[in-house]
Amino acid sequence: METRTFRTHLRALAWDIHRPDPILVGNRGEVVRIQKDEILRLNPNTKHNLRAVSVNPTNNSALIVGNVGTALLLTEDGNFRRLSTLTTENLRAVAWNPKGDLALIAGNNGALMKYHDNRIETIDDGRANLRDISWQHASDQALVTSNCFAEEFIPSPNLFTYETKSDALTAVNEGRSDLIGVDWRPDDAYALVLGYDVVWHNGLIAKFHENTMSSIKFENNRVYPVAVRWDPKGKAAAIATATTQAGTGNGQLSLWDGESFSALYSSSEFFFSRLSWTPDGSKLAGIASTDTRTFNC
């Protein structure tokens, strides 16, 4: 296992499709490429905190989103283009669909939009803070996770499906857990959804299949799962945790093979926000920071 230290609070990463170079984004407009042993800092011309990045699977461009409605397109030739989102909400997640012709962007207070044909359009019916996005590999449907309470503690669905053809967002689960991370298994047999119960502060990891969630048993007391990513072959899912406040949990990285968990890393100081596998599944990378908390992942 290799560890690298950066000067800025990084929040997310994604791997290039055609070369083994990860893109990392973080606070104060930080955008970094790692090329072998060299750290290359790019200039996106923004100082807003950047929170998520997704690489287009067809052309290797990347969408980057962040606070105050920030959305950037990083082209294949390394140039940045600012996109108009018509919102000032903090954007937390972005994901290209498998075809590479549409990307979903999600953020606070139900902010949800799609990027296609070089423009961004708003999608209605989100409520609370939306946290993560995962597309099915063989369909035009995505899962979107959400907090379970909207403004002023108004109950909200914590899991939605988005259908490209109908352009509709539909609630498929409610409960008292903030659902934070989600990822479909590569064969689309089921998705792993995770978060934590906001009342008892117990972690939740569940399978989602045919609009039904079934919990996976694990030692969940004061454990806060925030990120999940399947390896490209679907043999194991990497799951990482953060904490609500220092002293109440560890930053942990584990693999789940469908039956049991195996620990890879644990720290009482560093807490995870995002995970990403290389396209061939040979490497797994995670972003962790002393400043990461479950509410700001």
User: Can you give the CATH number for the domain in which 24 is found?
Assistant: 2.130.10.10
8 A C-beta contact, residue 191 and residue 183 = yes
pLDDT over 80 (residue 20)? no
Bridge partners, residue 105, by sequence: 94, 113
Percent of the chain exceeding pLDDT 90 equals 88
Same domain, 204 and 290: yes
pLDDT over 80 (residue 91)? yes
Question: How far is it, in rounded angstroms, from Cα 62 to Cα 90?
Answer: 19
Residues 237-250 have a mean pLDDT of: 93
Sign of CA dihedral 203, 207, 208, 212: negative
Same domain, 106 and 163: no
Q: Output the pLDDT for position 248.
A: 86
Per the structure, how many domains does the chain have? Answer: 2
Same domain, 147 and 291: yes
Same domain, 59 and 155: no
Domain presence at residue 29? yes
* Position with higher pLDDT, 130 vs 125: 130
Same domain, 161 and 258: yes
Q: Which two tokens stand for residue 220?
A: 């969940």
pLDDT over 90 (residue 186)? yes
Q: Output the pLDDT for position 79.
A: 95
Same domain, 224 and 165: yes
Residues 227-242 have a mean pLDDT of: 98
Backbone angles phi, psi at 109, to 5 degrees: 55, 40
pLDDT over 90 (residue 18)? no
Domain presence at residue 176? yes
Domain presence at residue 2? no
Mean pLDDT score of the chain: 95
Same domain, 110 and 219: no
Q: Which two tokens stand for residue 53?
A: 């990045």
Same domain, 208 and 73: no
Domain that holds residue 116: 8-123
21: helix, strand or coil: coil
142: helix, strand or coil: strand
pLDDT over 80 (residue 180)? yes
Same domain, 159 and 290: yes
